[in-house]
């Protein structure tokens, strides 16, 4: 039996990240899940963690990002969070935030010191 690797759409993923950054100005965007691990299939979602400033209404921002990215050739799952939420829940076993921090690939970072500190803690 011959298997064929599914197509990977790095341009589409990069464009999603660019659109989010241009409109919402997050502190960081991470790609996680199958595309980040390199084992995506034709049925895999593009999973993005979007980190916004602490004062952000994450629910409204999540809805607005989903509207911005509606359509396109790839299914997507977007998780919007804040540095405060990452600090509280980023190390919890089974948390999607932990998964994103553990295996995520940074697509964008504004270089904020808070995030660098969180990364150092996550690595411990």
Using 50, 70 and 90 to split pLDDT, how confident is the model at 7? very low
Q: Is residue 88 one of the residues assigned to a domain? A: yes
Domain range for residue 50?
Answer: 10-123
When the pLDDT of each residue in the chain is averaged and rounded to a whole number, the result is 85
Using 50, 70 and 90 to split pLDDT, how confident is the model at 5? very low
Q: Is residue 4 one of the residues assigned to a domain? A: no
**Which pLDDT value is given to residue 112?**
67
Residue carrying structure tokens 């904020």:
112
Cβ neighbours of residue 24 closer than 8 Å, sequence gap 6 or more: 50, 52, 61, 64, 65
Q: What's the rounded mean pLDDT across residues 30-40?
A: 92
**Which pLDDT value is given to residue 124?**
57
Q: Is residue 3 one of the residues assigned to a domain? A: no
CATH number at residue 87: 3.30.460.10
Q: Is residue 58 one of the residues assigned to a domain? A: yes
Q: Is residue 2 one of the residues assigned to a domain? A: no
Number of domains in the chain: 1
Query: DSSP character for 61?
Result: H
Report if pTM > 0.85. no
């Amino acid at each position: 039996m011959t298997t064929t690797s599914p197509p990977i759409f790095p341009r589409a993923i990069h464009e999603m990240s660019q659109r989010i950054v241009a409109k919402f100005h997050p502190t960081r965007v991470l790609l996680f899940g199958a595309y980040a691990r390199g084992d995506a299939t034709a049925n895999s979602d593009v999973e993005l963690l979007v980190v916004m400033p602490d004062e952000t209404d994450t629910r409204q921002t999540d809805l607005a990002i989903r509207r911005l990215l509606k359509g396109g050739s790839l299914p997507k799952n977007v998780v919007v969070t804040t540095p405060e939420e990452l600090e509280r829940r980023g190390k919890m076993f089974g948390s999607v935030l932990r998964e994103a921090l553990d295996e995520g690939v940074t697509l964008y970072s504004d270089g904020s010191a808070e995030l660098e500190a969180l990364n150092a803690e996550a690595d411990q």
